[in-house]
């Protein structure tokens, strides 16, 4: 069971997640730029900060007959949902909250972000933006079921929905060793949840930015920054689910959590560079016909092993 952090940790959490999101964005910018000199490396690493400052100073624009209230609710909910999902993330043996249904809470906040992106696409009253929002719905319907079963498989292995209990159950053996399919499917759905890498069709260039096409200034910063927060939170949640949380030799638990999270984010960053964007119909077909049966089979194997005395 994870220890509950003091009240001030609720203020530190969003700051920490924002810093991790900036670091992840900087790492991706360096990978994409492939700098040939230390000066170019520093320039590429600072690109996310420069872009954020540019968006903060940018004048907002609006499309005719836009539903501004609905748009604002959507773009604000994306980072808010990511931070709320991060409340159950344990740093070593400490979390802001460790409720008995922590896995359910995490998945519910992901669903909230799912709805938020659709609202952000609907609000501007723009065809391309609306198509991007609907793409995210279609993508979400395809990945949410295998994602949910992957979460359930980890909870089944620990026989608990409490995140702290799942970490405790991996003291002698990490779940990734006997749940590799669930782990791989979870990571793929983490990319899809943040509409990132091969799953970036909701904000694809073929739609001039899709759900973010008509957003500018702070609105655009909130949506796209929220995407990086979602990536960090979903990647970090794989650590307590499948990688043993803070368990490991020599280093303190909090350090192991940070190291494992950094490795997962680095792997996902490399995957983004190597894999092309997937067509929506291809991904939907893959999810329903391949990923769902595979993760159900993985859950069945885990259930049998858990029942064996």
Q: What is the pLDDT along the chain (309 residues), one digit of tens a residue?
A: 556 666 656 778 888 888 888 888 888 877 777 766 777 778 877 888 888 888 888 877 777 877 788 888 888 898 999 899 888 888 877 777 778 888 999 988 888 888 888 888 888 888 888 888 888 877 777 787 888 889 999 998 888 889 888 988 888 889 998 899 999 999 888 888 887 777 777 777 777 777 777 888 888 888 888 888 988 999 999 999 998 888 888 888 888 888 999 999 888 888 777 777 777 777 778 888 888 889 899 889 888 888 876
| C-beta pairs of 206-209 under 8 Å, 24+ apart in sequence | 207/128, 207/131, 207/132, 207/135, 208/128, 209/128, 209/132
DSSP secondary structure letters along 33-76: H--SSHHHHHHHHTHHHHHHHHHHHSPP---TT--HHHHHHHHH
Using only the alpha carbons of the chain, give its radius of gyration.
19
Round to whole Å and give the CA distance between 235 and 68: 32
Q: 87-109 b/e with 16+ CB inside 10 Å = b?
A: bbbbbbbbbbbbbeebbbbbbeb
Non-local (6+) Cβ contacts of 183 within 8 A are 150, 175, 176, 238, 241, 242
Q: 4-33 b/e with 16+ CB inside 10 Å = b?
A: ebeeebeeebbebbbebbbbbbbbbbbeee
Give me the pLDDT at residue 242, please. Answer: 92
pTM given for the model = 0.89
Three-state DSSP class for residue 3: strand
The dihedrals phi and psi of 95, each to the nearest 5 degrees, come to -135, 155
Three-state DSSP class for residue 95: strand
Round to whole Å and give the CA distance between 62 and 215: 8
């Amino acid at each position: 069971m994870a220890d509950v952090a003091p009240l001030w940790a609720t203020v530190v959490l969003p700051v920490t997640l924002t810093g991790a999101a900036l670091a992840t964005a900087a790492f991706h910018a360096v990978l994409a730029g492939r700098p040939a000199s230390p000066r170019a490396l520093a320039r590429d690493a600072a690109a996310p900060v420069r872009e954020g400052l540019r968006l903060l100073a940018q004048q907002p624009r609006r499309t005719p007959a836009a539903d501004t209230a609905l748009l604002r609710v959507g773009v604000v909910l994306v980072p808010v949902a990511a931070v709320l999902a991060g409340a159950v993330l344990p740093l070593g043996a400490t979390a802001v909250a460790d409720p008995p249904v922590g896995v359910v809470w995490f998945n519910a906040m992901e669903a909230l972000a799912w709805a938020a992106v659709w609202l952000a696409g609907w609000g501007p009253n723009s065809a391309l933006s609306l198509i991007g929002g609907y793409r995210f719905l279609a993508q979400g319907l395809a990945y949410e079921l295998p994602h949910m079963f992957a979460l359930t498989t980890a909870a089944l292995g620990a026989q608990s929905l409490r995140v702290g209990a799942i970490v405790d159950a991996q003291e002698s053996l990490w779940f990734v060793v006997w749940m590799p399919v669930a782990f791989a499917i979870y990571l793929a759905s983490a990319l899809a949840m943040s509409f990132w890498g091969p799953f970036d069709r909701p904000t694809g260039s073929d739609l001039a930015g899709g759900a973010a096409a008509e957003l500018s200034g702070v609105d655009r910063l909130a949506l796209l920054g929220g995407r990086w927060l979602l990536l960090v939170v979903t990647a970090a949640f794989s650590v307590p689910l499948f990688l043993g949380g803070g368990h490991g030799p020599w280093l303190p638990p909090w350090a192991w959590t940070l190291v494992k999270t950094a490795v997962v984010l680095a792997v996902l960053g490399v995957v983004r560079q190597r894999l092309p964007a997937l067509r929506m119909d291809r991904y939907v077909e893959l999810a329903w016909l391949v990923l769902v049966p595979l993760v159900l089979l993985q859950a069945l194997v885990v259930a049998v092993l858990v029942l064996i005395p």
